[in-house]
Structure 1
Amino acid sequence: MTGPADGAPARAEASGDAPPHFSQRIIHYLGLAAFVLSGLFFVAALAMHWSAIGPLIADSRLLALLCVLAAFGQLGFILAAAAFHRLLKGMGEPSHFGSALSILMVSQFTKYLPGNVVHHAGRLVMSRNAGLSPAPVGVAILIELAGSALAATLVAIAFASIRSSELPELYGLVHFSPAAALLPAILLGAIAVAIAFAAWKWPDYLRALTAPRAADLVVAFGCYLLNVALMGAIFTAIAHQVAPHAEADYFFLTAAVATAWTLGLITPGAPGGLGVREAVLLALVAPVTGTEAALLAALGLRIATTLTDAIGFGLGLCLRRLVRA
């Protein structure tokens, strides 16, 4: 004779109830699909721009330098993970540095999908699977975006302030027009309106969000500034390789790459700032190094950062296995 407990599985199966952890499996498969699509999109973009990238890869000395810089670029993941980990700890989350680093390394690769938001969603999902609450993780991501953009902008402003008399003749800033900033301005305005609407409609929920301590914000911002310096060092090495006699110093090239990175970040839909950052770098650097050298340096930076992300993705997968073990 079958009792109620014995018949429960049968009734659940007959009623179509989802088995335990079904949603987790769906999220897992969606994540795998995102990584596969990222790889396919990357290969398609590589094939589309092969005529420009091919000669760079054929240059053995430049390719060796790009590989070295890609390895050096892993320091960027460490700095970003240090900031992410510190912010989460400051909000009371049980974050571990190794886990934060692996999450960043693995999720970052999906930024090459159109939309430029999938890697943030992936970080939220992976963080939740690691036992972290979505709200503090979301706050940490927003702080990272704002803090990184602020750090890069401050570097660019510092350069413009110190060398303001040289800008019109040397650095090609006249190529930019107010129309070029229209779309990013609309995006930022929409975000501001959304935040204001949320503060009006859901004040209790917003007050419930935990904020990091001032010391955590200072440490995180220091990491963002160091990451800007790292990007500048990588771009300087590439620029001096392709144009050794050009009068382009580290300060200028760091300000240029910081400006390009920020505009690529706030331009909606550009996967990894693809196309936007290269165009900005070309406009800023070409008056100093020449158009051909500036284009080679911009493309070389894209190859170096893409190799950095690919290496980081592999290292992140290995680190995840170690963290789980």
Structure 2
Amino acid sequence: MTLPNKLGRGLRRALRVIGWAIVAVTLYYFTVAVAQHWSQIAAWSPGWQAWAIVFAAIFFYSTALLLLAELWHGLVQGTQDQTFSRALTFSTYSKTQIAKYLPGNVFQYLGRHIVMADHGASQGGLALANILEICTLILVAGLFALIGFTFGAAPHSLEISEVIPIHWLVPTAMVIAILMIILITRMLRAQPNTPSRQRLIYGSLLASIFFLAMGFTLLVLVGLVSGDYDPAIIVIAVTSWLLGYVTPGAPGGIGIREFVLLIFLQAYISEAEALIAIGLFRVVTSLGDLAFFIGGAFLWRISPRVE
């Protein structure tokens, strides 16, 4: 094994350990908060109308995941010599997406490779499609959060500078965006098949709509618990998703997202209400992923034939 390979494996291992440590700390913090407010949480007794809203939120979120499936379908189409049907790409995406809850947070991508390779897809093209999807989601979510906080989405009783030094926020985001754009450009030049500019713009639009839908889901749940429907909650939801997504090894962003949501939501509602809303949000998104998985298994029939 060469020295660069050893260093690369060591770096990946170190990042996973750091990610797991962050997950452990944030889960501990969240668990302690739940224990402190358990009496208030247990006293919350929603009626059947509230549960109907929760079930509707599960359906709404699982349907929104189709946007991400369409994003990946377009990227796959743009990186392959042949054209694959949505029956194949959507089913592959939905049935492997549930693997993000496994430790490591990468098995959904490996699953896509295994399934699509069996149908003749190029491994290099699939790798490019997955990397482009990751970069698109990070860039869109990061831009969403940055614009939201810049134009006043930060909670009125919690300055963003208390969490992240504001004079570092914009330049850091710009540097990361530039580096990702350079990486994407270099990868596109190195591949014989690359998505068109129209596909990338369309994919970014799909990701934007998904994040709006996800944020709206949290907004509805917060309103259900507390009656507060501040639009800034949508930005907070996207920010929590982003930080959970980029944490190495965090399955489904667990712990990270709850921690970020708890920090910001306390500026709008009580801590007990925030804990209830966050718990509902995790249930809705997890069951939404499960419903999406089941839908992919039953609604689409995988066919090796191309369109």
Fold agreement, TM-score > 0.5: yes
| 1:149/1:262 contact within 8 Å kept | yes
Stretches of structure 1 that go unaligned for 5 or more consecutive residues are 1-44
Q: How high is the TM-score relative to the length of structure 1?
A: 0.69
Larger Rg: 1
Residue 316 in structure 1 maps to residue 303 in structure 2: no
Query: Which residue of structure 1 aligns with residue 57 of structure 2?
Result: 69
Partner of 1:238: 221
- Paired residues of 2:155 and 2:264 also in contact (CA < 8 A): no
Name the structure where helix makes up a greater proportion of residues.
1
Query: Which residue identity is paired with 1:212?
Result: P
* Alpha-carbon distance between aligned partners in 1 of 2:78 and 2:272, rounded to the nearest angstrom: 47
**1:90 aligned onto 2:70:** no
- Aligned-pair distance for 1:281? 0.6
Structure-to-structure mapping, 1:88-237, within 5 angstroms:
88-91=76-79, 92-163=81-152, 167=154, 169-171=156-158, 173-176=160-163, 207-237=190-220
Secondary structure, aligned partner of 2:195? coil
Structure-1 separation of matches of 2:136 and 2:282: 22
**2:100–2:107 contact (8 Å) kept in structure 1:** yes
For 1:240-264, what per-residue CA distance to the aligned partner results, in whole angstroms no more than 9, with x for missing partners?
A: 00111x3x422x0111011100000
Per-residue deviation, 1:70? 1.2
Aligned residue type for 2:224: Q
| Paired AA for residue 309 in structure 1 | D
Q: How many Å separate the matches in 2 of 1:222 and 1:169?
A: 29
Is this contact kept in 2: 1:56–1:300, CA < 8 A? no
Structure 1 residue aligned with 2:6: none
Counterpart CA distance in 1 for 2:51 and 2:249 is 29
C-alpha RMSD of the superposition: 3.3
For residues 110 and 174 of structure 1, do their structure 2 counterparts lie closer, same or farther at Cα, with a shift above 3 Å needed? same
Work out whether 1:280 is the aligned partner of 2:271: no
In the superposition, relative to structure 1, how do residues 137 and 295 fare at CA in structure 2: closer, same or farther (>3 Å)?
same
Q: Secondary structure at the match of 1:289?
A: coil
| Identical amino acids, percent of aligned pairs | 25
Shift >6 Å, 4+ stretches: 49-52
Count how many residue pairs are aligned between Structure 1 and Structure 2: 257
Distance 1:320 1:255, change over 3 A: same
Q: RCO higher in 1 or 2 (8 Å CA, sep ≥ 6)?
A: 2
Q: If the length of structure 2 is used for normalisation, what is the TM-score?
A: 0.73
CA-CA distance at 1:77 after TM superposition: 2.4
Unaligned runs of 5+ in 2: 1-26
Q: Is the 8 A contact 2:219 2:233 kept in 1?
A: yes
1:78 to 57, 66, 79: 66
Deviates more, 1:88-97 or 1:148-157: 88-97
Partner deviation per Cα, 1:271-290 (whole Å, 9 max, x = no partner): 00001001001111111112
Return closer, same or farther for 1:137/1:55 CA change in 2, 3 Å cut-off: farther
Q: Tell me if structure 2 keeps the 8 A contact 1:231–1:257.
A: yes
User: What is the aligned partner in structure 2 of residue 304 from structure 1?
Assistant: 284
